Amino acid sequence: MKKRQPFFNFSWEIFLIAGNLRLTIIVIPPISSYIMQSFDLDQTKIGLLTSIPLICFGLLSVLAPLVIRKLGSYRTMITALGILIIANFFRVLSAPWLFVGSFFTGAAITILNILTPTVIVERAPKHANVLNGLYTATLNLWAAGIGYLAAPLAKQIGWQAVVQLTSILPIITLAGWFLIKNKTSNNDLEKNTVSNQQNIKLIEIINHPKIWLLAIFMGLQSFIYYGLIAWLPSILNHLKLSLLATGSLFALFQFIGIPISYIIPRISAGKNAFKWVLGGLFVGYVSGLSLLNLKSPTLPVITIAIIALGLTTAAIFSLALGLITTLSDSAREISVIGGVVQSLGYLLACISPTLLGKLNSSFGNWNLPITLLLSLSIITILVGLLFLRENTFTN
């Protein structure tokens, strides 16, 4: 008799973990106007608030493996989710609590970001490719949901309640983590993945030019993406769109990229395919940002711009992650390379929300910030071409 599969399994847990990596960050931009009014914050401070998780990504990504090695992946997951639950609940109490709580949520998300690939390899090595695809695709799904619902909910129940409601997901994820505790096929794998990484010499990795090129590529695309995440609702409000239209387009920006983020790693293998993908990304960036920067774009034009940017930002993020695996045939080395590339990349990206908010405050419009993003998008594609010339696509 065939054994009945349980309803809740490791795939569902990965789905929930992905949500924790997005909700805490994405919930802020749609409700930023309410936060500014409550705590008397300007756009520069709101930009800094959005930058805090990125600063954590940049500074703490190289330290997260040490935490995982010390605690083991099981206890590290419990710790990170516990921090998210507490920080999300209390960071609405005052302006200082908002910034301190955002730091702790950023630290927890950083740990989860490094930990998730580790637990996938530990618990389901034979299905790692499928689970990694599920993981990257559902990031945008969660972001789309909260991007659409946050502002209308804040209008009905208050922005503080909306932020505190994001504590529910880590509670559910923690319960799921307890449920799958005994379902790992080999408990001895608990610390192997992280501890083995210590055999890789970090200095040898960061001395390679292609590592720096990929880090810059990762950083520039993250600069553009998180700049849009932080300020796209404000840009759409500036274009005189309604609250409903703004929320819908912000959700569309996240949702439209779900299929492409799953497909891109499968069609970009090899140099010729990579060139075509870079060409498509160039067209998406330039058309989307140029249309968004028009003086009085109509709603259909804005929608086209949002679709182009949603597809492009999702595709290039998935591409950047996939390119890490082309740098070595060693799984341990790839893991360390990924930590270095993401750490350096997010250090570059963390200035985006604050800088763009400052430019808007100084000049009173979004034309210059969007023009800056347009210029950086062209540089991003050029860096991608340089990486293509340096890399031999090992894997």
For every residue of 380-392, DSSP letters joined together read: HHHHHHHHHHH--
pLDDT at residue 202, as a whole number:
58
pLDDT class for 23, splitting at 50, 70, 90? confident
Would you state the structure tokens that stand for residue 166, as one six-digit string? 């994001």
Q: Based on the domain organization, do 85 and 43 belong to the same domain?
A: yes
Task: Kindly state whether residue 76 falls inside one of the protein's structural domains.
Answer: yes
Residues 214-221, mean pLDDT to the nearest whole number: 90
Q: Based on the domain organization, do 213 and 115 belong to the same domain?
A: no
Task: Kindly state whether residue 157 falls inside one of the protein's structural domains.
Answer: yes
Q: Based on the domain organization, do 183 and 43 belong to the same domain?
A: yes
Q: Based on the domain organization, do 220 and 314 belong to the same domain?
A: yes
pLDDT at residue 391, as a whole number:
64
**Cα-Cα-Cα-Cα dihedral sign, residues 75, 81, 87, 90:** negative
Task: Kindly state whether residue 384 falls inside one of the protein's structural domains.
Answer: yes
Residues 201-205, mean pLDDT to the nearest whole number: 60
Q: Based on the domain organization, do 266 and 372 belong to the same domain?
A: yes
| pTM, 2 dp | 0.77
pLDDT at residue 86, as a whole number:
94
For residues 108, 87, 11, 3, the Cα torsion angle rounded to the nearest 10 degrees is 120
Q: Based on the domain organization, do 127 and 226 belong to the same domain?
A: no
Q: Which residue has the higher pLDDT, 147 or 169?
A: 169
Domains identified in the chain, total number: 2
pLDDT at residue 71, as a whole number:
85
- pLDDT of 392 > 70? The answer is no
pLDDT at residue 260, as a whole number:
83
Cβ-based neighbour number of residue 185 at 10 Å: 10
Give per-residue pLDDT as tens, 232-273. 988 998 888 888 888 889 889 988 888 887 777 666 556 677
Task: Kindly state whether residue 329 falls inside one of the protein's structural domains.
Answer: yes
Task: Kindly state whether residue 2 falls inside one of the protein's structural domains.
Answer: no
- pLDDT of 194 > 80? The answer is no
Cα gap 231→174, rounded to integer Å: 31
Task: Kindly state whether residue 92 falls inside one of the protein's structural domains.
Answer: yes
Q: Whole domain around residue 378: which residue ranges?
A: 200-395
With H, G, I as helix, E, B as strand and everything else as coil, classify residue 366.
coil
Would you state the structure tokens that stand for residue 212, as one six-digit string? 């720096």
Cα gap 220→378, rounded to integer Å: 10
Percent pLDDT > 90 in the chain is: 26
Q: Based on the domain organization, do 186 and 332 belong to the same domain?
A: no
- pLDDT of 67 > 60? The answer is yes
**Cα-Cα-Cα-Cα dihedral sign, residues 230, 236, 241, 247:** negative
Which of 195, 218, 245 is at the close of a domain? 195
pLDDT class for 395, splitting at 50, 70, 90? very low
pLDDT at residue 190, as a whole number:
45
Task: Kindly state whether residue 1 falls inside one of the protein's structural domains.
Answer: no
Which of 137, 166, 195 is at the close of a domain? 195
Q: Based on the domain organization, do 128 and 256 belong to the same domain?
A: no
- The per-residue pLDDT of the chain, averaged, comes to 81
pLDDT at residue 99, as a whole number:
92
- Is residue 184 within 8 A of residue 45, CB to CB? The reply is no
pLDDT class for 4, splitting at 50, 70, 90? low
Q: State phi, psi for 42 to the nearest 5 degrees.
A: -95, 180
- Give buried/exposed letters for 14-42 (b at 16+ CB in 10 A, else e): bbbbbbbbbbbbbbbbbbbbbbeebbebe
Q: Based on the domain organization, do 52 and 125 belong to the same domain?
A: yes
Give per-residue pLDDT as tens, 263-316. 776 665 566 777 888 999 999 999 999 999 998 889 999 999 999 999 999 889
Give per-residue pLDDT as tens, 78-134. 999 999 999 998 998 888 999 999 999 999 998 888 788 777 777 776 766 667 667
Where does the chain have alpha helices with state H?
A: 10-26, 32-39, 43-60, 64-71, 73-90, 95-123, 128-157, 159-165, 168-179, 192-196, 202-206, 209-238, 243-255, 258-267, 271-292, 299-324, 331-349, 352-363, 367-390
Task: Kindly state whether residue 144 falls inside one of the protein's structural domains.
Answer: yes
Q: Based on the domain organization, do 256 and 364 belong to the same domain?
A: yes
Residues 180-186, mean pLDDT to the nearest whole number: 53
Q: Based on the domain organization, do 25 and 172 belong to the same domain?
A: yes
Would you state the structure tokens that stand for residue 28, as one six-digit string? 């802020």
Cα gap 52→45, rounded to integer Å: 11
Which of 141, 167, 195 is at the close of a domain? 195
Q: Based on the domain organization, do 31 and 121 belong to the same domain?
A: yes
pLDDT at residue 198, as a whole number:
45
The CATH number given to whatever domain includes residue 44 is 1.20.1250.20
With H, G, I as helix, E, B as strand and everything else as coil, classify residue 93.
coil
